Amino acid sequence: MLMNTSLRRSTPAGGQIVVNAERPAVFDQLHRPNYSGIPKYRLVLNAIAEGIESGHWKPGERLPTEDDLVQMTSYSLGTVQRALRILVDQGLVVREHGLGTFVAQQQLRIQDPWHCRFLADDGVSFLPVYSTIISRDHASGEGEWQRYFDTAAGARVILIERTINVGNEFEVFTRFYVDRNVFPSLWDTPMEKLNGLNFKKQITQELNVPVTKIDHFVAMEPFDPAVAGYTKTPPYAAGIALQVVACMGQERCIYYQKFFIPPTKRVLSIPDQLTD
């Protein structure tokens, strides 16, 4: 039975924040026996993420305090803190010193992902994916991307590196290449605004030209230490390398992307036709 429906806490400025202290339904599962083998911090993380996705906590709204979350989940303070740290890293929540933890105003979830679609447990829906930009620079050095862009003809290729969190289960690392002349906004937009952006959808909307052909190439490949660090795998362990070549018409490459996917039991669904 819930004894408290709200708490009042003083803010540093002397005002008060009303905090909803009622245990949300997403935490009910945490009070049942866990036979899944999933670590406790991951269960807490998933429950909070589900509460955000379902709208129980809305953008800008403050989450319960760590002590309140301990009471609501019946897990230790260390477990709760670890879950919150990961949610901060994923951009789902932000921490404000002296005030608490809040749902991020700008969500990092990619809407309608095209290439990174992993089937959920029901075998029909897809796990949510959240992207975080790591770097953006002009492409240099040798690589597969050079096959698809004519730099001799003036193409200025930019490289955007990002991580994609899949269902709070594993991290995918990607390298995205595009001609700056064709799509300048990916260079001009502040980097933080690229988080959670569906690049394919953004390109088709801005150019008003459909992506008419996408080729996928899949291979097993050892991950170098840099890639392994982002995917949280041992250096040089083998993972899935997925190359994506998107074209306007039959020949002109609009973007090239390479995904580094760590070993997972999740099924990757690659669509067989282009849809918006």
| Per-residue pLDDT at 240 exceeds 70 | yes
Q: What are the pLDDT digits (tens) for 12-62?
A: 333 334 344 577 888 988 888 887 778 899 899 888 988 887 888 888 899
129/268 Cα distance (integer angstroms): 13
> What is the Cα gyration radius of the chain?
21
Confidence of residue 135 (pLDDT cuts 50, 70, 90): very high
Q: What are the pLDDT digits (tens) for 57-99?
A: 888 899 999 999 999 998 999 999 999 998 887 778 888 888 8
- The per-residue pLDDT of the chain, averaged, comes to 84
Q: What are the pLDDT digits (tens) for 251-267?
A: 788 899 999 999 999 99
| Per-residue pLDDT at 145 exceeds 90 | yes
- pLDDT for 7: 40
| Per-residue pLDDT at 230 exceeds 50 | yes
pTM of the model: 0.69
| Per-residue pLDDT at 4 exceeds 60 | no
Q: What are the pLDDT digits (tens) for 105-131?
A: 656 677 778 888 999 989 999 988 888
Any residues with CB less than 8 A from the CB of 17 and at least 6 apart, and which?
8, 9, 11, 62, 99, 100
22/72 Cα distance (integer angstroms): 8
Share of the chain above pLDDT 70, in %: 88
Element holding 45 (H helix, E strand): helix 40-53
197/108 Cα distance (integer angstroms): 8
SS3 195: coil
